[in-house]
Amino acid sequence: MKQLPFLLGATFLLLAGCSVHPKNAYDAALVPPAPDYAGLENWAAHPDKKDQADRTPAGLRDEQDSSEVDVFFLHPTTYTGAGRSERQWNADVHDTKTNKKTDDSSILFQASIFNGTGRVYAPRYRQAHLHVFFAKKDSTSAKQALDLAYSDVKAAFQYYMDHWNNGRPFIIAGHSQGSRHAMMLIKEMIENQPVAKQLVAGYIVGWPVQNNFFQQIKPCATPDETGCYCTWRTWNRKYGLKKAYQPEVVCTNPLTWSLTEKEYAKKSINSGAVIRPFNTLRPSVTDAEVYKGILLAAKPKFPGSVLLVRKNYHIGDLNLYYLNVRENAQVRAKTYLKANSVGKG
């Protein structure tokens, strides 16, 4: 598995992910203990520790030490049922196996995107098991598990605001389950609150955001707009045209940073994907086009991509556009800082 490109390895993991999953109803008495966010061990990434979010592909630099912006990043589901210990509704933040999986996948390949823009904070949280997204017969338990995970996210963000933010502007970013929580966090703790003025942008990737979900915060319509959010979910072009679309869902093109329907972006403007090895940027891997709430993409081209047969490119939502997302976050941060005359804090 380790020899496979990240995109393929993670895809196979998702296919097998529910082989071990909760068999009984959610029981609040059995949930793992809540994390104490005063302890750096409960952060997958933090400016005061060395972590995988500090790494960069060749030719890029970690600029966290000189940044004037923070990034609050929420990782996707890594508690997948890949082992016999992964049969509870929520992960324990002290589970070393799950933490390593998180750090070596999402924190390295996704959170690192933002180390050129801001100090990266990524809390560990009692993430809901992958099974919650397929548990039709256990929908009540699934909701309880997701609610518990979100309660940790809120606690982590509040701790960050109380102890480390110091009035600095911030980006909220996430993927998949992490974006589900990011969406809720922006709605409940940022929108219509005084801290909304500190929001540079949200990157709510890999989770559907309904076009009426927020009251005040709008989708970003240009590459340098701030106080807004970007969101997309990536599908194989041919399949997406036939089956996957959701017109009521917002979708951003991560190559043009436009919401314009059917505005085709050639793969030549894809500055670089990061798959495996992490050190290598791969330009022109795939293209992008917004279509009825989803992002259409041609089958990515990289060593080993012949094995990629899935029609849903969800696992690569960020990685396929790694350098474009990185550069866009930098643009939005610079625009925000210039407009608000923010000094270092």
Element (H, E) at 97: helix 96-102
**Local confidence band at 121 (pLDDT 50, 70, 90 cut-offs):** very high
Sequence letter at residue 122: A
For residues 150 and 243, the model is more confident at: 150
Average pLDDT for 228-257: 93
If you average pLDDT over residues 324-336, what whole number do you get? 98
**4 has pLDDT over 70:** no
Q: 7: pLDDT confidence band, cut at 50, 70 and 90?
A: low
The pLDDT, as a whole number, for residue 251 is: 97
* CA pair distance 180, 193, nearest whole angstrom: 20
- Give helix 139-160 / helix 177-185 axis angle, nearest 10°: 60
How do residues 61-116 score in pLDDT, each as one tens digit?
Answer: 999 999 999 999 999 999 998 766 678 999 999 999 999 999 999 999 999 999 99
The secondary structure of 73-86 as a DSSP string is: EE------S-STT-
Asked if the model's pLDDT at residue 168 lies above 70, the reply is yes
Average per-residue pLDDT for the chain: 92
| pLDDT number for residue 342 | 57
pLDDT(296) > 90: yes
Q: Evaluate if residue 3 carries a pLDDT over 80.
A: no
Q: What percent of the chain has pLDDT over 90?
A: 83
Q: Which residue has the higher pLDDT, 310 or 19?
A: 310
The mean per-residue pLDDT over the stretch 193-207 comes to 98
pLDDT score recorded for residue 196 = 98
- Strand arrangement, sheet containing 234-236: 234-236, 294-297, 289-291
pLDDT score at 243 = 78
Q: pLDDT > 70: what percent of the chain?
A: 92
Tokens of 133: 């997204």
Confidence of residue 135 (pLDDT cuts 50, 70, 90): confident
Residue 222 has pLDDT above 60, yes or no: yes
Give the pLDDT confidence score for residue 5 in this predicted structure.
52
pLDDT at 343: 52
What would the pLDDT profile of 11-56 be if each residue is shown by its tens digit? Answer: 333 433 456 788 889 999 999 999 999 999 999 999 999 999 999 9
CB atoms within 10 A of CB 113: 29
pLDDT at residue 166 is higher than 50: yes
What are the extents of the domains in the chain?
A: 6-340
What pLDDT does 126 receive? 98
Distance CA 345, CA 342 (A): 9
Q: What is the pTM of this model?
A: 0.94
